[in-house]
Structure 1
């Protein structure tokens, strides 16, 4: 009986560990846009999610033992919600990886597998808290035993092997999933801005009206720069890697933040970052060291931006996920505080 209890404890700890790893890498994946780091995070996320399948046989034993207990000692209903939500998360994640365009449609609009995946994960967090609340599990020496560590290594290896197997399936079958970016996104609209999906972060929406100028402030000065003056010929080819699960490579044109500040304000004492704000209130702080490679773009692929993609001017932040690419830029402020003094993700 004690051996069975230890096996159940190890299974529960492994399950919790994989859920925390999958959740943590999922959140981190929204922020990491560089190819190598994004790939590492994506692989860890996928392996952790698929690794949950390896625990099914052991977790089944735990569930059967729980059913044998008197009703008042059985696991709360949150445990069953947890199981269902994990299944939805894993299935929708696999469908997104395979390249499924949508799971079902509402009013003619397909609901993406990634949307279901993220939504189920948010609810899963609540169910996980409800399931573990009040279960005062203290660390034990057996949790760090040689057997436990070997089991952890075997689970990690099996999870990675299962992830590699699914990637092999996409390649053999020619599924769209074989052509995903390092962050797991699918290509949509490279060199054709009109084919890029129109997506916004959280509650942000396409504004009904936008201005014809950008207000630049810093060092006690304020300058209003017409949008027409922002097309200075500065160009960069950069990948817009949206947190909605798609990416597109485009040639962007406009003016760099460095040129904008230098031309209109000159050197600003104590400057550390630039706060770029949309007409909707959405904003991101950009490190001053990145100002030379960060663009206020007015054109994509040689054509003016469309309203859905940020017209008349948007931020282009190479190496960062789409959540940084502020649309409908209305204001740029030179600040003397660090760039990281902001929420990891915008709050709107």
Structure 2
């Protein structure tokens, strides 16, 4: 095969490989925000990490493609988008690795937040760059050779991820002890040391209120928050999408006990609404595992952690744990008929 033809094919395969890895990293990054149970979150985290690190394997080939493209299109195409994409991709990978190793903050901003922001910007530029390149699918993209090369890239990416994990365990880095979701431990058993965070559209209210409206069976009942401490406890992990987790003992009242005797609809859901308007809808079938908590580790909740009452939803990421609960309403609508992440 002539050398020019081989390099043309190699360049196309390199670009396709980069596109596949970037798409996989983006999809798994989005899934990581929603998956909180151990095995699924581990699968998503491994796929996300391997896809990101796999980009490094294609750097030598991509550098050749870039040099050839510059020589061919010099003066005819603005390289600004390509260079911005390269810089953002490098920043995304670097901050992802840094979060995995140590989960640090810089100037009060978590490295994970920088990673997410850079990843979103990278995704937008990938679309812009792909449209500008005008490449179209070809039959050879699904050839046996292409599939074998894809398998090799996948194996190399997983090996690179496993190697990094092995190094972290060998040197005892903080990242070796992170949760399946990739979150680092912060303040377990000590609410005062647990970070105070909330969804980016929400804020700590000035007056969270002292009553909770329970709407079920066609009736609205105003409950004093002080009466919600009925001694029910659960030890659960609050796993924040900000990259940290804390295991605490939470105390209050189980949702199924609170709703007992209210005439629940079969297959219904329950809306849990904050005084700020923030809300999440959960299946009634989960009511036995949900807790309206007034205390954490034996202490009353602080304002930053959702006082006077917050939802505890074991197995779900932190944005499901509604703070400053003002209303609990049983509804007929399915729980999944809502945005996958809060938009308000």
TM-score between both structures, scaled by the size of structure 1 = 0.95
The question of whether the paired residues in 1 share the 8 Å contact of 2:239 and 2:246 is answered with yes
Taking the aligned partners of 2:233 and 2:170, their CA distance within structure 1 comes to 38
Match of 2:234 in 1: 236
What displacement does 1:203 show?
1.9
The question of whether the paired residues in 2 share the 8 Å contact of 1:271 and 1:334 is answered with no
Greater mean alpha carbon deviation, residues 308-317 or residues 270-279:
270-279
Aligned pair 1:129/2:127, yes or no?
Answer: yes
- Which consecutive unaligned segments of at least 5 residues does structure 2 have? none
1:14 to 8, 12, 17: 17
- The secondary structure found in structure 2 opposite 1:159 is helix
The question of whether the paired residues in 2 share the 8 Å contact of 1:78 and 1:128 is answered with no
Match of 1:117 in 2: 115
Match of 1:89 in 2: 92
1:214 to 212, 215, 234: 212
Aligned pair 1:281/2:300, yes or no?
Answer: no
- The secondary structure found in structure 1 opposite 2:326 is strand
The question of whether the paired residues in 2 share the 8 Å contact of 1:66 and 1:74 is answered with no
Q: Deviations over 1:37-90 (max 9, x none)?
A: 111111111000000000101111110110111335446421111100000001
Match of 2:290 in 1: 294
What displacement does 1:258 show?
1.2
The question of whether the paired residues in 2 share the 8 Å contact of 1:42 and 1:184 is answered with yes
The 1:166–1:215 alpha-carbon spacing in structure 2 relative to 1, beyond 3 Å, is same
The 1:160–1:70 alpha-carbon spacing in structure 2 relative to 1, beyond 3 Å, is closer
Greater mean alpha carbon deviation, residues 145-154 or residues 1-10:
1-10
The 1:269–1:115 alpha-carbon spacing in structure 2 relative to 1, beyond 3 Å, is closer
1:260 to 251, 258, 261: 258
What displacement does 1:152 show?
0.6
The question of whether the paired residues in 2 share the 8 Å contact of 1:252 and 1:301 is answered with yes
The 1:75–1:20 alpha-carbon spacing in structure 2 relative to 1, beyond 3 Å, is farther
The question of whether the paired residues in 1 share the 8 Å contact of 2:256 and 2:288 is answered with yes
- The secondary structure found in structure 1 opposite 2:34 is coil
Taking the aligned partners of 1:100 and 1:319, their CA distance within structure 2 comes to 21
The 1:177–1:144 alpha-carbon spacing in structure 2 relative to 1, beyond 3 Å, is same
Greater mean alpha carbon deviation, residues 72-81 or residues 155-164:
72-81
- The secondary structure found in structure 1 opposite 2:214 is strand
Taking the aligned partners of 1:297 and 1:181, their CA distance within structure 2 comes to 23
1:173 to 137, 152, 171: 171
Aligned pair 1:344/2:315, yes or no?
Answer: no
What displacement does 1:137 show?
2.8
- The secondary structure found in structure 1 opposite 2:273 is strand
TM-score between both structures, scaled by the size of structure 2 = 0.96
Match of 1:160 in 2: 158
Match of 1:148 in 2: 146
What displacement does 1:158 show?
0.6
Greater mean alpha carbon deviation, residues 253-262 or residues 46-55:
253-262
Structure 2 matches for 1:65-84, cutoff 5 A? 65-74=68-77, 76-84=79-87
Structure 2 matches for 1:319-330, cutoff 5 A? 319-330=315-326
Q: Deviations over 1:271-315 (max 9, x none)?
A: 610000111111100111101110110011111111100000000
Q: How many residues align?
A: 341
